[in-house]
Amino acid sequence: MDVVKAAQLSGRTLEKVVVHPLVLLSIVDHYNRVARDTRKRVVGVLLGTSSRGSVDVTNSYAVPFEEDDKDPRIWFLDHNYHESMFSMFKRINAKEHVVGWYSTGPKLRENDLDIHALFNNYVPNPVLVIIDVQPKELGIPTKAYYAVEEVKENATQKSQKVFVHVPSEIAAHEVEEIGVEHLLRDVKDTTISTLATEVTSKLAALKGLDARLREIRGYLDLVIEGKLPLNHEILYHLQMLNKEHEKAEDSKPTAIPSAAGS
Query: Pick from 52, 159, 43, 177: which is nearest to 111 by CA?
Result: 43
What are 37-60's pLDDT values in tens digits?
999 999 999 999 998 889 999 999
Least confident range of 25-29, 196-200, 232-236: 196-200
Q: Read off the pLDDT band of 149 (50, 70, 90).
A: confident
Better-scored residue on pLDDT, 116 or 233: 116
Q: pLDDT value at position 200?
A: 60
Claim: this prediction has a pTM higher than 0.75: no
Give the CA distances from residue 232 to residues 14, 215, 229, 237, in Å, rounded to whole numbers and listed in that order. Answer: 18, 17, 10, 9
Q: Which domain does 201 fall in, by range? A: 189-250
Q: pLDDT value at position 125?
A: 92
CATH code (residue 38): 3.40.140.10
Least confident range of 109-123, 124-138, 223-237: 223-237
For residues 150 and 243, membership in a common domain is answered with no
For residues 141 and 206, membership in a common domain is answered with no
Q: pLDDT value at position 193?
A: 47
**Among 175, 210, 232, which residue terminates a domain?**
175
Q: CA-to-CA distance for 29 and 119, rounded, in angstroms? A: 23
Count of structural domains, the chain: 2
Residue 10 has pLDDT above 50, yes or no: no
Inside any domain, residue 171: yes
Q: CA-to-CA distance for 62 and 64, rounded, in angstroms? A: 7
Q: In the predicted model, what is the mean pLDDT of residues 11-19?
A: 81
Q: Yes or no: say if 41 and 79 are a contact pair by the CB < 8 Å rule.
A: no
